């Protein structure tokens, strides 16, 4: 059989398997078909994915008894987020922007890891959400907590908005919206240098660095990594640094940080991608002391997820959320304004 198969990743947490079935396919139940096509798949996992509407045929969910046929297009969404057999509820404060029975929109502070993983077994956003949900529903089975789900995440030292689903069906719906690039995400970043253009678009694949595995890098040529598109617009110029907004069309790991480094404007104080040193300006003592003081005020990459918009999975109405710039970014921006004598119009 000569099906065309494509595997892609969006927002780090999901993969998509797409199969275009050729003309020689005999009618076969979708569950049996996928069992034979997905390595390591079990009947229970396939059935769960079908029940959760994470299996689409010709862009529509199907039942297990659907029989695939020639020229069908089959898409399977697979949650790739790190699984944990036990999520420990922890009483950690949450800044909740919006909540209903379907979704939870949280304004994450810088410094908080989103989910447990290597080196961060607890103290994460997911642990805090588990506590929050248990408080709402004391009878909730803790074994079900890992199913309340992440459909995207933001870096530990990036602040701002992210959405979590409170049911599996809602998680499936939101995952599809992220895949289809219909989710509105607007970030505010302070970057090094006076950007040449007032606005532009960066198109370059983003993938893991082939030598330094903790880093990601841009691949402008070739197919290595995942396609990534960032639209940017200058908000204010402060001679040595620029305040920009970035709108994500895709959501790859470290996408904004990598793309800005690619065009020579790393994020201010980004210790992974070269922004934690003087990139523009002199190295004279007075200026160096000023920059060091700025680093102390904002001791992480200056990046904030300010806006988030999507179609509500239950009401089917567009929803839009915004969050204030955090105090550390406000403080460092004000310091740069004063340093260059910037005057507001």
pLDDT of residue 345: 43
Confidence of residue 150 (pLDDT cuts 50, 70, 90): confident
Confidence of residue 237 (pLDDT cuts 50, 70, 90): very high
> Could you list the active site residues?
155
What dihedral angle (degrees, nearest 10) is formed by the CA atoms of 245, 249, 253, 254?
-20
pLDDT of residue 132: 93
Q: For residues 21 and 303, which has the higher predicted lDDT (pLDDT)?
A: 303
**Residue 63 pairs with which residues in a beta bridge?**
none
Q: Which residues contact 288 (CB under 8 A, 6 or more apart)?
A: 278
Q: For residues 3 and 124, which has the higher predicted lDDT (pLDDT)?
A: 124
Instruction: Report the distance separating Cα 345 and Cα 343, nearest Å.
Output: 6
Residue 265 shares a structural domain with residue 188: yes
Instruction: Report the distance separating Cα 252 and Cα 185, nearest Å.
Output: 13
Model pLDDT for residues 60-71, shown as the tens digit of each residue: 888 988 999 989
The answer on pLDDT for 241 being more than 60 is yes
Q: Which residues contact 284 (CB under 8 A, 6 or more apart)?
A: none
Residue 199 shares a structural domain with residue 286: yes
The answer on pLDDT for 15 being more than 80 is no
pLDDT of residue 221: 72
The answer on pLDDT for 279 being more than 90 is yes
Instruction: Report the distance separating Cα 319 and Cα 243, nearest Å.
Output: 26
Domain contains 42: yes
State residue 263 phi and psi, 5-degree precision.
-95, 15
Number of H helices, E strands in the chain: 7, 19
Residue 217 shares a structural domain with residue 283: yes
Total count of domains within the chain: 3
**Helix, strand, coil shares, percent, the chain, to 5:** 25, 30, 45
Residue 166 shares a structural domain with residue 188: no
Residue 137 shares a structural domain with residue 264: no
pLDDT of residue 79: 59
CATH code of the domain containing 35: 3.10.290.10
Q: For residues 222 and 45, which has the higher predicted lDDT (pLDDT)?
A: 45
pLDDT, mean over the chain:
86
Confidence of residue 210 (pLDDT cuts 50, 70, 90): low
Domain coverage including residue 36: 4-79
Q: Is 278 left (phi over 0), alpha (psi -120 to 50) or beta?
A: beta
Instruction: Report the distance separating Cα 289 and Cα 339, nearest Å.
Output: 12
Residue 237 shares a structural domain with residue 287: yes
Confidence of residue 88 (pLDDT cuts 50, 70, 90): confident
Instruction: Report the distance separating Cα 271 and Cα 336, nearest Å.
Output: 20
Task: Using the 3D structure, point to which of 51, 79, 107 is the last residue of a domain.
Answer: 79
**Angle between the N-to-C axes of helices 327-340 and 285-297, in degrees from 0 to 180, rounded to the nearest 10:** 160
Element (H, E) at 185: strand 184-192
The answer on pLDDT for 129 being more than 80 is yes
């Amino acid at each position: 059989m000569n099906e065309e198969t494509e595997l892609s990743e969006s927002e780090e947490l999901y993969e998509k398997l797409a199969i275009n079935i050729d003309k020689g396919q005999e009618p076969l139940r979708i569950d049996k078909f996928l069992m034979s096509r997905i390595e390591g798949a079990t009947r229970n996992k396939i059935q769960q994915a079908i029940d959760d509407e994470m299996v689409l045929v010709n862009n529509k969910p199907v039942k297990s008894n659907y029989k695939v046929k020639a020229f069908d297009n089959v898409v399977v969404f697979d949650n790739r987020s790190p699984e944990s057999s036990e999520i420990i509820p922890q009483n950690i404060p949450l800044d909740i922007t919006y909540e209903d029975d379907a979704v939870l929109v949280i304004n994450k502070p810088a410094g908080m890891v989103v989910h447990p993983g290597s080196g961060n077994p607890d103290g994460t956003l997911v642990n805090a959400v588990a506590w929050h949900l248990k408080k709402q529903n004391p009878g909730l089975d803790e074994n079900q907590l890992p199913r309340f789900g992440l459909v995207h995440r933001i870096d530990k030292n990036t602040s701002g908005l992210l959405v979590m689903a409170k049911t599996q069906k809602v998680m499936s719906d939101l995952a599809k919206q992220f895949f289809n690039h219909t989710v509105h995400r607007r970030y505010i970043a302070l970057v090094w240098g006076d950007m040449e253009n007032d606005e532009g678009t960066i198109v370059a694949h983003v993938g893991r660095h082939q030598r330094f595995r903790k880093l990601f890098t841009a691949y402008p040529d070739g197919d290595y990594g995942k396609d990534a598109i960032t639209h940017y617009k200058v908000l204010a110029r402060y001679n040595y640094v620029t305040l920009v907004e970035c709108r994500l069309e895709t959501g790859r790991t470290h996408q904004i940080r990598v793309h800005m480094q690619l065009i020579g404007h790393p994020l201010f104080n980004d210790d992974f991608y070269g922004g934690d040193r003087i990139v523009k300006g002199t190295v004279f003592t007075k200026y160096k002391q000023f920059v060091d003081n700025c680093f102390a005020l904002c001791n992480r990459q200056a990046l904030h997820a300010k806006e988030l918009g999507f179609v509500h999975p239950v009401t089917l109405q567009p929803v839009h959320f915004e969050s204030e710039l955090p105090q550390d970014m406000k403080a460092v921006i004000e310091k740069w304004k004063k340093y260059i004598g910037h005057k507001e119009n």
